[in-house]
Structure 1
Amino acid sequence: MQKLKYIKGDATNPISKGEKIICHICNDIGSWGKGFVLAISKRWKEPEIEYRKWYREKNNFLLGEVQFIRVEQYITVANMIGQHGIKTSSKDVPIRYDAVEKCLEKVCLKAKELNASVHMPRIGCGLAGGKWEKIEPIIIKTLVANDIEVFVYDL
């Protein structure tokens, strides 16, 4: 079984060779403009364009769904709908752990299909308000236990 690998660096510049999937959490209201999505948009325009189109078309735009966008020859970005709304107060936590798990199950299938490693910041722990001690076991269960190489980046 693989181990979760923690590294210092930028998740938009993944370090491994071969196919790579960069995962991040999106909300279910079509809002894109704060947090890690800014780093993605700075590097590639397609993930934001496709996310906004997905939202407008309402084609399976639901918690637990994932949109995969090829941005470079060996890099795919996974827009994962894992939060309901956006954080509006200290008590309002938009992360939905069950949706994150469903998303990561889909990422696992895609990673196996592409023979890809998976790269991410500490998903769900910024603006989504999640706790890493709840997210990490989900990553281990859905990806690491299925022999997917996973890198978690801290800037």
Structure 2
Amino acid sequence: MFVPRRNIYLFFCLVSCFVLLGVRSLFLLDDTAPGFPGGQPAKGPESFKIYITGKGTVTGIKTGGLGLAVYAVEKIPRYQGQLYRIGLVVLNTTEKPKELDFNVALVNSQGREIFLEKEYQTPVTVAPREVSPGTIEIEVPDRKNDWHMELWGGCLGARVELPLRVNVVRHPME
């Protein structure tokens, strides 16, 4: 079967337009959220969304049988500067209860780390197919640097880097 050259030319033009539009859209993606230290871009796949009353829709990543999502950043007045508290929720996607026993660290762009080891956390068990209450609260000492959260150990199976990013941020004390 003979295909006219004009049709081949139009086909390649159409494919080129779609490719250019796809590349352009990659540069227009907004991977930052207002209210976060430096607007840390997302690293890793976002694989689920949870709606939490009063907090809005949050996005997270899955690791093993758990889904992790940051749900709030709260400004806390202190006599020496400001602290920002981060809340984390955990989604148990398995058929067994999961006890959260991982370590947490905040790391800024200069490599400074703040640790919250599991022995200092309140023990939390998440029922099968359920979402935990706010499980971890970490205080971020400033907003001048880019921060991300690292979680490792316990039932995670691998070290996870969780960007400090949500869709909706409310600061109740501002």
TM-score, structure 2 normalization: 0.29
Q: RCO greater where, 1 or 2, for CA within 8 Å and sep 6 or more? A: 1
- Choose between structure 1 and 2: higher strand proportion: 2
